[in-house]
Structure formats: C-alpha cells, structure tokens
Amino acid sequence: MYKLFTILFLFIDLLVFGQSQPAMVNIKGGIFLPLYSLDSQKTIVKPFLMDVYPVTNEDYKKFILQNPTWSKTKIKSIYADTNYLHQWNSDTSFNATIALSPVVNVSWFAAKKYCECQGKRLPSVAEWELAGRASETKADASKDLKFNQWVLNWVSKSSPKVLPHVGSTFKNFYGVWDLHGLVWEWTFDFNSALTTGESRGNSGLDNTFFCGGGSFASKDINNYASFMRFASRSSVKAKYGVPNLGFRCVKNK
C-alpha cells in the first residue's frame, strides 16, 4: 500500500509540477534586428530550445534545496538586493497559492545560476525577441497590429499582487507559453541595450547608467511594446529583485 501511494504521489507531482527538467520546444531561429542604432547590424539567431513555461516558485524551491547558498537568507549581497525572494516566507517556504506562479524578485545572477544548474542558460535578447514576436498562429507577428496591441495593453497594466499560474495566457506558434501577459523575463545580455555616458555626449563612460535612450533611434517606431521591454531591461542592474520580473531558460540545439 505504501508503494502504491508513493507511485501515486510521484505521478501527481509530474502532472502538476512537471519533471525536474521542464519541457522545452524548438525555436527555428532567424534574423533579429535590434531596436537601437548603436548596433544596426542584423543578428543571425541559430535554432535553439526554450522552456515552455517560466520558472515557477516550486521549480526554484527545488533549486534552493540543492543549492542552499542561493537561499533567501544566505545569498551574498553582491548577487542580490534586499528584494530577493521577497514573496517567500522563509528560505524554502511560500504560500501554496503561488507554487505554480512564476518566481519573481530573483536577480540576474540567481537566474543565471539556476539555468546553469539545469544544464541550460538564459536566452539572449535576440533569442527572446525572436521567440517573443510569435503570436498564436504566426512565427513572426511583429507587424500584426492586433497582436502588438494585445501585448501593449498588457505592458501598460500594473501587475497583480498575486501572479497567475504559468500557462494562463496563451501558447505561441512554437508552443511557448506566457512570453507575454504574465511577467517580464531576464535575458543573458539584458544590459547590452544601455546608453553610456559617451553616447549621451558625456566623455565619462559609466556603465552603471542604465537608460533606454537608444530606443529613440529604433528601426520600428510602431512597436511600442518592444520599446517598453528595451527600457525595462535597460533600467535594471544584475542584483535587482523586481516583483514582476521572472525568467526561463534556453539551451543550444
């Protein structure tokens, strides 16, 4: 009887929380043209694998249990600010209602470490944007006014205090859920869009100034949601914990 219940609980865990390695789907790859003029060359994005869902609190708890030095009370201050896992009650506990919600208030350093421990990595801006321009029916819906308006409507709203569960928005053309409509997401090179002191006419270079000024030189002035992502990435630092900023992982094919 004990073995039967054990097998049943394992089966339920796989259904509800997924396997230890979340499902991934293939992203075909293609051409990405940055919004800003600081790098006007097209970027060729090779095919890659992307997590179907953002990393959840339950996923992240498993990571903490295996890597306690990255827990709420033990993480080094150089890797996270005081907002780190603010929504958790302790190092390994949180309200059950957010178990399947995207984990947020996680620094770039912690997100990067999580992905590495899964044998994966954070997506580049080019990879994320390539996957993110897919609607439910099109691989490239960047010129679809209805799709762009839907995304813009979401980014214009305040995030709820309790985030919905993953899989609550829509599955895009590739089979990826929640790239839009749930949380913002870290990218590996999130600060590649920063505007330095030199580019503002200031001879002193200071890469701690993260601003979205480069978006004024964008190639596509119609995609305001992209501007907002650009500005959002450019306004954060690697140790920040933000209540509507989560992440997912990718992997080379």
Please state whether beta strands 30-32 and 43-45 pair in parallel, antiparallel, or not at all (unpaired): antiparallel
Q: Which residue has the higher pLDDT, 159 or 241?
A: 241
| Contacts with 128 (C-beta within 8 Å, 6 or more apart), sequence order | 179, 185, 187
In the predicted model, is pLDDT for residue 105 greater than 70? yes
CATH number where 83 lies? 3.90.1580
pLDDT digits 0-9 by tens, 168-205: 999 999 999 999 999 999 999 887 754 333 333 333 33
pLDDT given for residue 132 in this prediction: 92
pLDDT digits (tens, 9 = 90+) for 126-179: 899 899 999 999 999 988 989 988 988 888 888 898 999 999 999 999 999 999
Q: What is the pLDDT of residue 199?
A: 34
What average pLDDT does the chain have? 80
Query: Alpha-carbon Rg of the chain, whole angstroms?
Result: 19
Q: What is the pLDDT of residue 46?
A: 96
Compute CA distances 210 → 45, 95, 189, 236, whole Å. 25, 34, 13, 7
- Mean pLDDT over residues 25-49, rounded? 80
Cα dihedral sign for 21, 25, 30, 35? Answer: negative
Which amino acid appears at position 138 of this protein? K
pLDDT of residue 16: 43
Predicted pLDDT at 41:
67
> What pLDDT does residue 6 have?
33
Higher confidence at residue 223 or residue 156? 156
| Number of structural domains found in the chain | 1
In tens, the pLDDT along 2-26 reads 334 333 333 444 444 444 456 999 9
Half-sphere exposure of 93 (CA within 13 A, CB side): 2
The better pLDDT of the pair 216, 230 is held by 230
Measured between alpha carbons, how far apart are the two ends of the chain, in Å? 43
Element (H, E) at 182: none
Structural domain of 109: 2-252
Task: Let me know: does 87 contact 104? Beta carbons within 8 Å.
Answer: yes
What pLDDT does 87 receive? 97
Instruction: Specify the higher pLDDT residue, 1 or 190.
Output: 190
pLDDT tens track for 47-67: 999 999 999 999 999 999 999
Q: What letter would DSSP give residue 140?
A: -
pTM attached to this predicted model: 0.79
